[in-house]
Structures are given as structure tokens and as C-alpha cells.
Structure 1
């Protein structure tokens, strides 16, 4: 335990002009004990260099290191407890003593606050709770003190030669004033008490007791080993001549100087002889009590706390668990983290002698352990399925704090600020320790990731360097931890929503999404592809947004009815090395429109057409048909009709170009019925509704087959109204080339090809095509520009 004593003499001179103030109650604690008075003042109030003064009727006296030991004071600055402590003997200098029963203490506490000296008056009156024994010995940390009843004369155990020498000297030199002989002095000459005081000794003659006090290490004291334990003692004979009678009193104080030890089983040990000096008592019964911080406890309580008192070969051995109740713990950095424990031992020995000269000995001793390793531990509590690193740093002492964390080399001060992907939480434990729970998202960019194809999993690695400090010195040290986790990885998944004009796809990017290619069909999704097909794409490091307009490339329309149809778009994720599709994001949305035409890959044309101009007044769409009068509508309403039929049926014609093929049919309202309904209405004023489907030849496998139609791509359809301009087209168009062949008619009633005009060959059943139709120009007035589809 470090002792910090005040020395300032010049400071004392400046204090005469300072004002005395009242100290805050929460900053000070004053207590009366059985044999001493104690003051504890918070260091947060006093600062690092507080000073004490003793005050009595004659003046104010600075307590210095030398005067403290001579006058019965011990002062210690205890940073581990956060206070400065003064202990004063009941027989200390400048203490008002009334009948050895009431003791009044007056002190000044002097502190420097913001460069100014402030003085606080402290006073307390105490009465001992136990009666005084015939002999009382106190072994303080810096002095020895003995007091005896004043009527007690020399004990019978005094050595004959010592007694004779003292007696002879007393008779020849004794006066009415008290004199003293110090037996450690080779000359053993008597001296008055003033001379003894100059040599560092203090003598007090109270109403009922004689007191001797001496600092350790006096020239007249002697050291020896008693039962193998080092002991220091001081022996003085006090005498006075009253007329023809000489009064002589032997005063002996002896203290164990054992420094204490520490064994591997975790005990601090301290030894003292049962009898420290022959003049203190004879070999007889000894009773022992132990405690901490000046408080003694009974044997059952001591045993419950783990204290052990053993007697062997005339020696008492006190064993205390290093972390027992009352021990003071402190962390220290010396490369790694260490700790040591300090125990303020308080011991009482009651020695019962045959001469009824009972002795009570009380000792204050500070025991300390050596530096003990104090390793922290880290525990990986990560659950990979949660995709969150959870690491616990535990067994952190209460005087150690976390100030920063390095995550894969990037430093974050504690507490974390404005960071959502990782957190640090302090966890308090009842055993005066605490811990920290660190959580870091595996998706955080600071986490290192590496994909293992062999394991089919993503390896996440986080190197952690905790920076901690020991308080209050703020000594830094470091604790390293490394955690790793494997997680199954899956291809990206888009979130899709339906819009009025198409489908919108959104992807929240993950660090490992680079393991897959995002494709539309077989084409890699790039900004160039998006521009080519009319997609609207925006992307950043966090997300990808793709808006797919209705009827754009890759958009599939199905389940058409008069109410509307369903549009589907698919985004695929492929292995970049094998091009194998790993997963896909598909979204189907319902749309509504006035007119619609769809050309499927399996050779079916589906059309919803507005027939309001194709029918005479009062006409019924159910009476319409295709070129083949047996091919009627599947659904109708007041003005519209739905037809769905194979391309090579219902009287369709085929127009073959160099790079494409177009199937065409018409929707009729019976001429006869038209004439009956309105004879005056010329036939030419009736709208002719033509429907077409155009396919690239490169995508066809079996052309003009009456058995099967196969195409890689859906065809491009259009609806032509004869009474409208070309802006009435109802679907995306593919412009035909200038060279065509004459129509080839097919119906559902015959499967044989119809003869063509001379000079033309009938269509081949299988045609090999070497060219590929790309980027055909579009006319104004296509379905995209004319139709305003809406959701239903």
C-alpha cells in the first residue's frame, strides 16, 4: 500500500490567511474505533496532494512524515479506494484527553482547488467501547505504541541485570521529574523526556496510563528472530524519585515485522510469534481475532470468509484468500494485464500472563500479493444462420474499460456512433466484473469474405483487436480475437412489383452477389442491353432497379380474356463459368387493354379486337368469324371479340420474306347480314380488321408443318383496321422486307397445302435458315404508342 505524506513547511505559512470552510458531507467519513480514530476523504474532492494539520489550544501543527510516526498518526493515499485516510491513536499528540475515556480530535484538511488553498476544519469526539487492558500494544504501519496502567511497577520477568542497572542509575540520578533509560542504547544512560523527544520518542503521562511511542527503525530499538519470525522491539524504563521513593516502570513494545507471503494455493499469509518479547508476558494462553480495515470479527465470521489461524511451534500463521471479502484489487499493465490484491489486516492478540498483567496487542499490517496474470477471454457466440457475428469479451475487471475496437484493421471508438451494422454492449456481472458483446453483420463491408466452391459456402472472417485501459492511470493494453463463420450462399432474388406500364424489379445487393450473372434470357444484363430493349435500369453499390415496360423484349403475355391478360417477365441467375441457370425471379401481373394480340412460340394467335367499326348498327360480335367462317370468337362483349386459333388454320395466309415469316387473317362480319341490317351502307365503308403474326426465320425449327410449330421467340403481332391509318396498329411491329411470296391458305378443315400460282414452289416442311433477324425497325403508331394499358 503506497503511503503519501505531506511535507510542506512553506505551505503552512500561506495557510494562516486562508479561510476555513465546511466540507461536503458526501466527501468525508469520520469513524471512532476501539483504539483509534479514522478520517477518510474522497480524492475527487481533495485532489492528489491533500494535507492534514493537528490543532490544539496551543496552535496548529503540520503533520509531516516524521511527526506522524512520533505523534501517533498514519496517513495513506489509497487510489484503489479513491480516498486519503488518516488514522490517529487515542493517545496521539494534540488530542484532548479526559480521564482516558473521552478523546477529542481537531484537524484541518488543506487542499488546493483551482490554484487556491482551502482549509476545512474537522473534529470528532470518541470514547473507547472496550475498557483499557493493563498493557496495550499497537503495531501501526509506521510506529509502535505501548501504554500501561500508571500504578503498575516493574514486572517480575524483568532481567535482573537490567533491573539492577536501572535501579542503580535511578537512585544516583533520579529527580522529581520523570526520566527514561532506553535499553537499546549501549550506554543506557538516563535522559529527561525532552531529550528523548528530540531522539524521536514520545511519552505521555495521562490520568491513569503511561504511554511510549516510537517510529520503526530507531537506533535504540533492536531486531531479532523469534520462532523464526523477524521482530522489532523497543524497551524503555521510565522512573521518577519522589522523596525517598523511586518509581520505575518498564515499557516494552514489540511487533512482528513479517512482510507476508503468497502461496500457489491463493492465500496471503502473515506470521507472528505468540509471545513477541519476554517482558510482555510469559508463556500462557493466547486468544486471536482478525479482521480488515480496523474491524475485528468473531471466529465463525472469519472462518466463513475463509480466514485461517493456525498455531504451531509458538507461531501464529494467518492465511487469507487473496480475493477474500475486504481485499482491495488493482489491475496493472506490464506487457499483458496483471492484477494484485492488497489486504489491510487488523489483528488482535490477547495474552493472559500469570502475573495478571494481561496484554492486548493490535497490529495493522498491509499484505499484498505478487502480480498475478489476469487473462481476459473471448467467446464466439455466432449463429451463422443469423448472418451476424456475436463475440463476447469476458472477465473484464471493474477498473478496466474498453475504449476502442479494431475490426479487420478499421478502428471504431467506443461507444460506436452512427453505425447500424455493428454494435457493442456492456454487460455487468455481480462479481465486480463486466463484459462486452460485439455484434457485426456479416454483410458489413469490413468483414472479409471468400467463396469456397468445394464447400459450397461463403467464409466470413473478422479479426478483432480490443483496446482497453486500466483506470485511473489509463494504461492501454490489447486483447486479440479472430472469428470465422461459414454460411450457405444463394443466388440473388429480386423483389418485383406490378406497375401500370409494366413490371419493376429491385435487388438489394449482397457482397457475394458477384458469384452469379444476371441475365434476361441468355443475354447478360448490362446497361447496353437495357438501352437496346427499352428497359430502365439504375444501379449503385446497394441496389439494382430494373423497370420493364409492357411488351418489351422478354415480356410474355398469357391468359388473355376480354377483361385483360397476364404479363410475365423473368430474370435468371446463371453460373458465370457454366452458364447454368441457378435460379430465377419471375413476376406475373394482370393488365387490361381495349385491343390485344399475342403470337405464341407454339404457333397460336390470340387477339382481342374492337369491332365497333366492322359491324353495322345493331351488329352482334358473336356473328363475326375469321376467313374460315367456322372459326368464330371464344368470347364477346358489346363491341369486342376474342379469337384464339393456330396460325396455320382458319384460312390464314403465310407471307415468307428473307428473314421473317408473317401469318395473316381477317375478322369478318357477314356481308349478307350487313346488307340485311343496312342495305344503304356500302360494303366499302365497313372496317376490315386484319391480324398478323410475324416471326424471325432464325427462331423457327419446323416451318409450315401441319403437325407442329416451333419457335424460339414469340412472334410480333399487329391489328390493322382498314378505315384507320397505320397508326391504328395494336401491337409491336416487325417490318417485312420488300420481297414476299403469295399467300398460302390453310384452314382447320383441310391439312393439305393449297396449290400456288405457277412459278412458285409450295412451302417446305423444313427450312434451314442461316441468318438471324435483329433490331428490325419499328413504325410509328405501334402498340406501345397507341395502347394505354392499365392494371385491374
Structure 2
């Protein structure tokens, strides 16, 4: 058997060993490597040697490498780097397929294929391949690019082309150059063709066409939610004229989605900058293909493919396991698993029509990859969708266990869990269950940096009906949400309070707002005298001055700094993830504050007697404790609670510290040089505490 396998690998001429095919826009070569297990190396052969087609350079040169289910393949654009081009209608491919056997020895097979273009080129062709974007334009003579430029210049919706024209006129030389509109949509960046190639772009001039190629996520590309756009213009000077060719492209980059039964893909019907004046846009055809061939409507329906439009959006869908795809199996921990992958081709042909009914036609193609993982989570829907299968017709699902919550299928459905049986065309079936992220059985863990992890353990109880033999299957599924940051908080000062505004986070229930170690609730607000308001967008907390939780600092005779802190913590682990402290300046005529280090600070006014008491005459109970600062009407004392004659009294669960600011009166000389006597003055300062420091004026 070992010898036979070895011979099968080396026999390149055996049926099915290597397949080649000229398709309408590319050359395809495929090789079955299931026996060998080694992925072949592809080499392009030219007169001066060979060039290895590696992943690193494939996107720049117009090649796509794949290895799926033991089938290694190469797709080569008709305009790929090392292809012989004869008048843009015949293309000669010379390749080596190199395979390493189990001994490490390389075996090489050379092939040459001559491909004839089966469908004429459109004026402009855009190909959105798996790993690159390719744009091809007719040169002047077939379709006049200057006329197209005139249309774009006259388009009232287009703001970038006039700036590009002015830039090209200023900087154009005889050498070809390429100009990009940068990500700010304002600035232009031009470079030579050699500089562009060093950055990973490719620009080539063939007998009748100009070809521009770029990998995805290049420096000058712009990523939208679902579309990648490249604003690129090729220009050069020809005698006294500047020739400009619009090589802009746009490709849908959103992956397919899977709802457990159907795979879906969506794309805009037309995308800027490919067409900006929709009054001149005419859609000619929208088609779908499989196995490199476009399908008619009857064939699509037979295969289960759906192609439809909804306004300016095109929808493509196909059922799991439909013809044209690959079902992939694997076994993990003695458990059989299966997924499905399909490669389809989407083509849209549309035109820009002139007033004289002539037109410029664009052929826009997407290589669409449909892929269904075994477990598909939809973060935007916040639902786990878990597929289990496939099973023979005599296997039934009788119960599930979500973490520690055991439910029969009937009970689970009654509790609004989505559980359904999925039949397959081969007579087998599978099961799908959907579990919302916010279900009580789902565990949530905040991992930091905005990353939230959801996980659930699912235990299936299944039964073989004929034997009444029960067996079990366990699945652990995990999903991550990347935008689970703690809520944003803003704060501002008023004359008598601090106000915090807390935006409601996207992940409800994950975060708690706290004052100290207590969660902020309506009951806590009423108890402490806070003002709490809530609406659909945010929560507002107003903290009046002198309510519990303030810290008083930098106290002077005129003002002080009041600070208040709120915390954002994980509602489950109670780990603090954000502290927000607001500092505000407040004014107060009288103030009594006791800090946590046992220091009392008192600001008192002495104008309440008649005549007024000179502030400099005041002391505390201990007459040696005099003011730290005074002015015409007020005094400031700062002292420890165990100094300056402070009295200590104990109550039931609390302690009272008491001192007095006093002036016993005395003989002074006023401004008229008359001898008078001061009024007596007493200001009682009390500090009462049970759980925390609390100051009362008396």
C-alpha cells in the first residue's frame, strides 16, 4: 500500500492528479494532495528563470493560492505578472508544480497552457479577489478615457476629480505616475510607478489596457463598515496634454453570516467612487456563479441559491450543504464535527450612459466566500447559535443542560429557547439551539481593554429511538465582544453642588456606579440627600455641597476645594475599573470640617454680635490655640480633635467632639480713640461620628 501511494503521488499524468482549465478571466490549476499531505509549490517560468509564487507576492502579482480538503489550487489572472500576453486576447501560462515526497525529494511537473479570452473585455473591469483588487481599463482608441474624465469633471456630485486634475497638470511628467486620494478625502499623494511597486501596488500597460492591482488594507485604501475603497488615478503627459485614467475601485469586505440554516452575504448595488451621478447609472445584469460559471435563474433555484435586491442592496444566500460547496469534517476529542465552505462569483455589469446613448461599461466581480463554522455567534445580535450534527434519522434530542440548568426540549422551548431540527438532503439531520448572551445561564467575564467574554456550557442528551439508548454530547462555546468599555462619565461644578452624567453602557448590567463601597441606587440617593435622575441615554447624579462623601481641601477664609468621587465597578466581581473624581471651588462664610486624619478646620464669622468682635481676639477653649488666619470679619482655626481643649462625649454607637470659638471681650481702643469694651462671642463646633466623620455647625 505504501508503494502504491508513493507511485500515485509521483504519477503526474494519472487522471485527476493535476487539472487545468482556462476560465473567462483567469487560469486555474488544481492538484489532489490528499495522498501526499504536502502542499505543492508553484513556480512561474520565464525566459530568464523561474519565480516562486509565494503568499507574500501573490496579491501583488495577481495569483491566489488555496488548499482546501486536500486540494491545492492556483488561480492566475490573465494579467498576472509572468504571463505572456498576446494582444489582450491570448494568454500563455508556463508553470512548474513542485511536490516534495515523504523522503524530502522534490518532483517537478512542467505545464504550458494557452488561454483564449472567451468574453470580450468591458471598458472597465474590477475584480475583487480573495487577496487582491484588480482594475483594468481600455486605453484611448477603444474607449476614450478623456471623455470619461469630462463626464466626471461635469458631475456636480464629484469633488475630488477637479483637484486631481489640477494636481496632475502641475506635476505630470512624461513618466507614468499614480495619484491617491488620502484617507481624509482632501489631500493628494502622487508617486512614480517604481515607488508604487515598492509599496505593494502593481501598474502595467498591456497592448490595449491599463491594469492596476492592490492588496487589501494598503496604505492608501479606506476601510468602511463593509466596503474597502481605493481612490487611484493614473496620469502622464503626452506632448501638450495630460492623460488621466481613473483606476478607483471598491470591494465589499464584509464576510458572510450564518443563522444556523442559511448563509447570507450582502453588497451595495453600486459604490462610490465607481458611480457618483446615479442619474446616468444603468444596471445591465446581476448574476451569480459557481465553479467559475455564471448560473441562470433556473439552475440557481435548483441549487438553492437566492439572488435578490432590496433597494440599493443585493442579497445572496444559500443553504448549509448546498451543491457547489465543500463539507469539511474533523474529529476532536473523539467527537465528529463538520463545517461547510463555498466559493461563489458575483458579477454586476452596469453602464454610465451619455446623452447621445453611448456608454462606458463596467464589469464588477466579487469572489464571495461562504463559510459556516460549527458554532456561529452573532455579536451584533448577542446570541449564541450552536449547530450539532449530523445524525441518522433515528436519533432524537430529548434534553439540554445549560451550565447547571437542566431542561427537557419541551421545557426549553416553553422558556423561549430556540431549538430546531435541521434536515439534510442525504437523510441525516442536525439540531440548532440559540442562547441569548443575556440569558441567566451564560457566564460573563470582563477581560479588560473593552473585551467582554461570554461563555456557556451545553450538555446534550440524545437518544437512539430503536434501541432506546441514551448518549450525551458536551459543547463549550465562547464569544467575545470588543466594545464593552465602562460607561463614559462627565462632571461639572455648580455654585452648591457637583453633577455627574453617566452614559448608559452598551452592555447593560455589566457595570455598577458606586459611591464609596455602596452601589448607587434610588434608596442610597434618598438616604444621603443626592439627586438622581435617569433617562434612556444617561443617568445624572447631583451631589449637593456638604452631603456625605465630600472631601474638603485647601480651605482658606474665602473658599475651599470640594472633591467627590464615583467608581465604576464590575457588577459581578466588584473589581473597580474606573475612578472619576471632580474637584470644584466653593465659597462659604462658615464651615466646619473634620478630616480622616483627625484634624478639625473651622471658618467662623464674628459679625453676629453688636458691636462686632475683632477676629484677632478669638481663641478656642484652650486660650493658647489662636486662629491660623483672620481678616476683617472671619477666623480660621485648624486643630486636632485631641487638642485645644476639645471635649469628648460617647453616645450609643457614636462619638461627639466639641470645641468653641470664643471671645470674652476686653478693653480696646477704637478708631475715635474712645475706650470701649468688646462684645462676648461664642461659636460652638461639634464633630459627631458613628460610621464616618460628620461635622455639624452649632
Report the TM-score, using the length of structure 1 for normalisation. 0.44
If you compute each CA radius of gyration, which structure gives the higher value, 1 or 2? 1
Higher strand share: 2
